[in-house]
Amino acid sequence: MKSHSTCRAVIGCVALGIGSSMGFPGAHAAEDWRTAKTVWPNPLLKEGALKKVSEHVHVIPDGGIPAVANIGIIVGDRAILVIDTSVGRRNGEIILREVGKLGKRDQLLLTATHFHPDHTTGAAAFPANTTIILNDAVLADIRDFGASMVADFTRVSPFFANLLKDSPYPQATVSFDQECEIHLGGGVSVKAIAMGANHTRGDTVFLVEPDNVLFTGDVVMEGAPQIASPYSRISHWLESLDRIQAMKPKLLVPDHGPLGNLTLVDRYRAYFTRITERAAHLRKEGKTADETVEIVRTELRPTFEDSEYRGVWSWDARMSGSVLEAYKEAAPTQSP
């Protein structure tokens, strides 16, 4: 039996922030994780780690390993939806073994919170009849940045390179512009919501409606937010935080790190608000971008410290990208 997932465009949604007057800042270049001399643990999901977090939602936790994603598995009477995959076919195979433990369903569906290889390339292991649902902007990101992102991941270590072999990005069977209602049977539905350009241009969150559980992608996490796209805008990210708050989810499942609640949203808001205010102020005072980065990092370091996220993933490392972006956004608007 075929799935009944229907996707519709919703008029009046938040615009994608493309073609902003700010141009193409490449703010992510400030962050040097690609070349950092950090030893990365092998990014493999743990076998048998699947846990139930609400009536219809299971999660395979990331185990605190960078570039491993928290995998969501939503179970309806008729279909199972997997959210995110981690890197490469081998992780996809681990996910499929866990899915197999949840019993047989008519249909398997797969989706992703954004295009990065640690969220998409495990799709290579999924059977050919899997329904793959992706936001239009995720597909645009794969088209524009996919190859270079895989090259970056490949350079991290030979293990990463090996995982990515024969693991191309997925192709969508169903794509959508703003929202997609995914019906899994037995009253279980998941609303996929395009959030515009925050971490990436195609950030998508997933609200599991009967359980009130929200998969937030990299838009809200315990670890630091990363400006990872030339389309990323902090001003827009703050609007996204308001949208997430308004959904009133009872449980947040971020892409990476521990599950949480809306206090994670408060923390990101406080961080971005503070950075935005300070960058604008210091820019007005005549400070350069580099001086602003140094001053704001020193000021914020005591408040935004790391718990388990360190090294290239730390608040400290990611802060430069955010401050530089805030500095750019504080530029006085040119009068015509």
CB of 37: closest distance to Zn ion in angstroms?
Answer: 21
If the CB atoms of residues 116 and 297 are measured against Zn ion, the closer one turns out to be 116
- Stretch of 16-24, 110-118, 142-150, 280-288 contacting Zn ion, by CB under 5 A: 110-118
Q: How far is the CB of 322 from Zn ion (least distance, A)?
A: 15
| Total interface residues for Zn ion by CB under 5 A | 2
Position of minimal CB gap to Zn ion: 116
Give 58 or 116: the residue with its C-beta nearer to Zn ion: 116
Q: How far apart, in whole angstroms, are the C-alpha atoms of residue 171 and residue 188?
A: 25
List binders of Zn ion among 192-231 (CB under 5 A).
218
Nearer CB in complex with Zn ion: 219/241: 219
Nearer to Zn ion, 28 or 116 (CB): 116
Nearer to Zn ion among residue 99 and residue 149 (C-beta) = 149
**269, 272, 268, 280: which is closest to 328 by C-alpha?**
280
**Residue 67: left if φ>0, alpha if ψ -120 to 50, beta else—which one?**
left
In the bound state with Zn ion, the residue whose beta carbon lies nearer, of 5 and 86, is 86
Residue 89 or 116: the one with the smaller Cβ distance to Zn ion is 116
Phi, psi of 328 (to 5 degrees): -65, -45
87-95, 113-121, 149-157, 168-176 -> range binding Zn ion (CB under 5 A)? 113-121
Radius of gyration of the chain (CA): 19
Shortest spacing between CB 199 and Zn ion, in angstroms: 6
Q: Least distance to Zn ion from the beta carbon of 116, Å? A: 4
Give least dist CB 218 to Zn ion, A.
Answer: 5
Measured from the CB atom, is 3 or 226 closer to Zn ion?
Answer: 226
Least separation in angstroms between residue 58's CB and Zn ion is 22
| 143 φ/ψ angles, rounded to the nearest 5 degrees | -60, -45
Shortest CB 63 distance to Zn ion, Å: 17
- 8 Å CB contact between 88 and 165: yes
Work out whether 28 is an interface residue with Zn ion (CB under 5 A). Answer: no
Closest-CA residue to 192 (of 215, 223, 226): 215
- Least Cβ distance, residue 71 to Zn ion (angstroms): 14
Selected from 28, 116, 236, 287, the binder of Zn ion by CB under 5 A is 116
Taking the complex as a whole, the smallest distance from the CB of residue 248 to Zn ion amounts, in Å, to 25
Nearer to Zn ion, 9 or 151 (CB): 151
| Interface residue list for Zn ion (CB under 5 A) | 116, 218
